[in-house]
Each structure stands twice: as C-alpha cells, then as structure tokens.
Amino acid sequence: MPVTLPVKDRFHLPDGMIYLDGNSLGPVPRGVEARAAAVIGEEWSDLLIKGWNAAGWMALPQKVGDRIAGLIGAPAGSVATGDTLSIKVYQALGAAVHMRPDRRVILSDSGNFPSDLYMAQGLTRLLGQGYTLKTPAPEDVAYAIDDSVAAVMLTHVDYRSGRLHDMAAITRKAQDAGAVMIWDLAHSAGAVDLDLAASNAEFAVGCSYKYLNGGPGAPAFIYARPDLIDSVEPVLAGWLGHDAPFAMEPGYRPAMSTERLRVGTPPVVQLAMLDAALDAWEGVSMADLRAASQRLSQGFIAEVESRCPMLTLASPRDPEARGSQVSFAFDHGYAAMQALIARNVIGDFRAPNIMRFGFTPLYLDEADVRRAAEVLEEIMKTEAWRDPAYQTRAAVT
Ligand SMILES: *Cc1c(COP(=O)(O)O)cnc(C)c1O
C-alpha cells in the first residue's frame, strides 16, 4: 500500500526532540526492539546452535541484501551484507584493481570520507609496485580520469556538504576510459532516489545505520553488477564466501554468487534489527521521498538564511546537486551545535566549521524544519553559543 510521508508513527522518537541527524544515526523504527528481544530471548536462548538453521540466521545476510537492493535500484541477489563499510570499500577496491592488472591508479576525490581514503592507502601500500591513490578536488575528478586509472571510487553524496556527484555521467566517463566504477552510497541509500543498475557501475557499497535506521554498528552492504559476480576476486576470502563453507576444504573456492562477498560469521542480532528496521520503508515511493527531502531542505535553507545572516550555506543551493542534508559554515559551529542540542534540536558538527543537518522525510515535516530554524535563530541572536558549557569537545562530534 502506498503511503503518504511522513510516517512518524513507524519510529520511536523522544518527545519534543527534532532529530536532524538521521544522516549519521537513524532513530529506532518500531518493531526493532521486539525483534532484537525475540532473537535473544527466544532464538538464541532456546535454540542455541540450532538457530543457524531453525531461525534462518544463516540466510539473513541475503534476505536483508535483497531488501536493500530494492531501495537502491539493484536487482535481487546483487547485494551482500555484513562487516562495516570500511571493509566493503576494501573488498570493492581490491576486486576492481584485480580487474585492471595493467593499471596502477585508484582515483577518488579530496572530499571523500577519510576511512574510504585510508582503506585505499592501505591497499596501495600492500600492493606496492607503483600503485597510488589520487585525490583531486571533487569538481575536478571527472577530468582526472584517464587510461592509467584502474578504479574510480567516489562517495556519491559528500558527507560534509551534501554535494552530489552525477552518478550516470561519471560512471560513463570512467568506463569510457576503461576504469572500474565504485560508488559509496553511505549518504545516498534511503536518502536519494537511486537507479544503480541503470548507472552500469561495477560496484557500490554503503552502510545501514544512517538513513536505513539499522542501529549503531549495523552491517554494511556491497553490490556487484550481476554480470561480474562470478568473476569478482574476493580479496577477503573468508569461509562464508566459500562455495561450500561447511565442507571445510583447505583451499578457497568462491561461491558463484554475491555470497562470495561475505567474509565471516554474520552479526545476527544486528541483521535481524536491520531486517525489522526496513519495514519502515513499506509502501514508500523513493520518488516521493526525494521530493519531500528537497522540499524540507529548501524550506530549511530559506528559513535559516532569512533568520541567521551570520551563517553561510556550505551546500549546493540547487537541490538537484545535493543529497538529503544541508550544511552551514559558522566559525563557532561546534559551540552553536551544542547549544542547539541542549535545546533538543539535534544536528552534528564536522571539523573545521560545518554545522550539519540531515533531512529524513520518513519522520520529519515542515513544522519540524521551521521549529529548528526558530531555535537556531534564538541561539544566533542571543549568542547563546558563547556559554562555556558548549565549548568542550566530546569524543564523537
Ligand atoms: C559513514 C561512512 C563511513 C563509515 O564506515 P564504517 O566502516 O561503517 O565505520 C565510511 N565511508 C563513508 C563515505 C561514510 O559516510
């Protein structure tokens, strides 16, 4: 049944809180807590080891992968789940460079999330032999693609500014130059209307604790284009990617499916929670979601710019060039965000001076956006951010 957004009653949201940080950690969808309790209190408690078969634990990674595939424009069977996003980035990069053995460059951009760049640096160090990572500015990356590039690895929506790369155009450019395309969808899955299959990209990766609301530490996902899957090199050749894990063979033989991108034992409780969390998408049209996200974020920009002239928009103004978040630069951004959080409007801060706000149409509406802008205006007008209590940085900003 198609639904009208928002669907707030599908989530537990603390009373009075305006949550603009679903781009970092989504809230708890209803049903998740009961599912986790059932996995622990019934399945694990009563079935113990029998749970792997009797409760379908071993089949969960593929089941959840198929549900995520439906949200990113990928066919069933093309998405594997497990591990963390950093691990999935490494798997995609390793497989991609293996496909272009005569090329030595991994191309990303300087705005990419540090862990993606660190994983690429670790891989190039391990490979040696002249492998390098190049990171031009995001706006220059399309021009930096040439026939030395083995893999182009980009994050579709920039985590700081929300700037969105043109997935179809860059993929075409990469493939015309003979490079393999990897998209990181960390800030796209569940936020943007995606047609991954139509983009023709070889690989995509992402996490499920942001817009997909899977909970802290929820498993990541990796997509491989279906025509490639039987030839993808599993650089992390764990036993659960083996064709017959329980044959306990001494030599690795990859599964002839996306299963080969699994590594080790699946995180059953987190996967079950994610499975339940994905129920929140029932009946949601991704086109509607994108339209609502653009409405909310355009509304927020207009409100903030008219109320808070001291803040500078640090996201593209064109909604088509932006994901589902809006950032403002402010020199005292950390303290200002602490002041906002103290008033129950939750965003986050990214160094050096970015105040970041995520727009999640499943549980936000226009009134929330207006209220958030009003509170921000009060903090700016009174300079409430000067309070010493807001100056000390916590470990997680
Ligand atoms: C959130 C995020 C990560 C985090 O990786 P983990 O291994 O899940 O901690 C990596 N890359 C990007 C682009 C992200 O946005």
Q: Sorting pLDDT into bands at 50, 70 and 90, what band is 155?
A: very high
In tens, the pLDDT along 311-347 reads 999 999 999 999 999 999 999 999 999 999 999 999 9
In tens, the pLDDT along 357-367 reads 999 999 999 99
Q: What CATH number belongs to 8-29+285-390?
A: 3.90.1150.10
- The full set of domain ranges for the chain reads 8-29+285-390, 32-281
Task: List Cβ neighbours of 139 (8 Å cut-off, separation of 6 or more).
Answer: none
pLDDT for residue 169:
97
Q: Sorting pLDDT into bands at 50, 70 and 90, what band is 392?
A: confident
Take atom 4 of ligand 1 and give the residue whose Cα is closest.
85
- Ligand 1 atom nearest the C-alpha of 186 is 15
Task: List Cβ neighbours of 260 (8 Å cut-off, separation of 6 or more).
Answer: 229, 232, 234, 241, 254
Chain centre to alpha carbon of residue 390:
29
Q: How many CB atoms lie within 10 A of CB 90?
A: 23
In tens, the pLDDT along 242-263 reads 999 999 999 999 999 999 999 9
- The pTM for the full model equals 0.97
Q: Is the pLDDT of residue 397 over 80?
A: no
Instruction: Give the mean model confidence (pLDDT) for residues 110-126.
Output: 98
Domain 32-281 CATH (choose: 3.30.390.10, 3.40.640.10, 3.40.50.2300, 3.40.50.300) = 3.40.640.10
Our answer to whether residue 330 is catalytic in this structure is no
% of the chain with per-residue pLDDT over 90: 98
Lowest mean pLDDT among 150-154, 341-345, 350-354, 359-363: 350-354
Our answer to whether residue 370 is catalytic in this structure is no
- Ligand 1 atom nearest the C-alpha of 87 is 7
Tell me the helix, strand and coil percentages in the chain, rounded to 5.
45, 15, 40
Element counts in the chain: helices (H) and strands (E): 11, 15
Q: Sorting pLDDT into bands at 50, 70 and 90, what band is 1?
A: confident
% of the chain with per-residue pLDDT over 70: 100
Q: Sorting pLDDT into bands at 50, 70 and 90, what band is 395?
A: confident
Give residue ranges with CB within 6 A of ligand 1: 84-86, 113, 115-116, 155, 159, 184, 186-187, 207, 220
> Tell me, what DSSP letter sits at residue 161?
T
Q: Is the pLDDT of residue 154 over 90?
A: yes
Q: Tell me what the pLDDT averaged over the chain comes to.
A: 97
Residue count (the chain): 397
Q: How far does the centroid of ligand 1 lie from the alpha carbon of residue 1, in Å?
A: 33
Cα separation values, 245 from 34, 88, 180, 347, Å: 31, 20, 29, 44
pLDDT for residue 199:
98
Our answer to whether residue 359 is catalytic in this structure is no
Q: How far does the centroid of ligand 1 lie from the alpha carbon of residue 85, in Å?
A: 5
User: Which strand ranges, in their side-by-side order, compose the sheet holding 149-155?
Assistant: 79-82, 220-224, 203-206, 180-184, 149-155, 105-107, 132-134
Instruction: Give the mean model confidence (pLDDT) for residues 196-214.
Output: 98
